[in-house]
Amino acid sequence: MTETATATPEARLATFRARRDQSVVQPQGSLALTTTQLIDSEQSVWGVPGVWAPLPAGESGVMLTAEASDGITVSGELVDGSVVVAAKDSAEPGEIRFSDTVMGFVISVEGGYALRVWDSNSEAIQSFGGIDAFPYNPDWVITAQFREIEGGTTVGFEHLKDDGRTREMVVPGEISFEKDGQEYNLAAFRSGRALQLVFSDATSGDSTYSVGRFLFVAPQPDGTITLDFNLAVLPPCAFSYAFNCPMPPLQNRFSVPIEAGEKNVLAKGGGLLH
């Protein structure tokens, strides 16, 4: 049996949190993201050289025009003129390098394509002091039931920067449980092989990040699903304003405080980073 398997819940949580602190300062970690800009016309992009323009409808990516002196490479080739930068939805997306620390990709977003820029030496990374979190709380380790919905159903998720518009996202099933006499029925959408639960609670905007938090879970073959809110994490938009995070749907807004999981992003001095 491995040391991790025999460790206490508190020790496993300490390991999880140390890995979280490390993950957000990686070259493409949440604190490295400096820009996400929609390319819907010929334009410059904040902080990086080049002129960026959309492609005809149906084509993946954007057009970049730059001079050799700008020092931009796309998939290892120096740009001197105009080049198509394929997006992440392409079989061969273009990797953009602006300098030793600054790189980018083109991503598909609502409305077309956007340039996303990371800096592995960003101001946020330099200022980062850690992720504040609650102590381990066994009261918020919940065994729930997962009922799969054949073909799934759709739920409208509002995103932080979408001015109240909602995006219909597929919810593959219903998560239900009872706690302290209250029935809960939650909606989670697929994120890779896991389900992503976007929730808020009575701590949101008080002792925890105002937008809410995320919890990633996976149903068991017997139909149960463990909701360990000690593993609740801050959304990427808590680390960088360049992210556009989904907000909790109504059924995922708890009226009680969930004093478990991550709370806020801290600067080195102990205050809030943002």
Check residue 191 and give its pLDDT: 86
The answer to whether residues 72 and 50 touch, using CB atoms and an 8 Å cutoff, is yes
Amino acid code (one letter) for 104: G
CA atoms within 13 A on the CB side of 88: 11
- pLDDT lower than 70: segments of the chain: 1-5
pLDDT in tens, 93-152: 999 999 999 999 999 998 899 999 999 999 999 999 999 999 999 999 999 999 988 877
Check residue 159 and give its pLDDT: 82
Check residue 3 and give its pLDDT: 54
The answer to whether residues 73 and 85 touch, using CB atoms and an 8 Å cutoff, is no
Check residue 84 and give its pLDDT: 98
Pairing of strands 141-158, 224-228: antiparallel
Check residue 4 and give its pLDDT: 59
Name the H helices within the chain: 3-6, 9-23, 123-127
Domain ranges across the chain? 30-119, 130-267
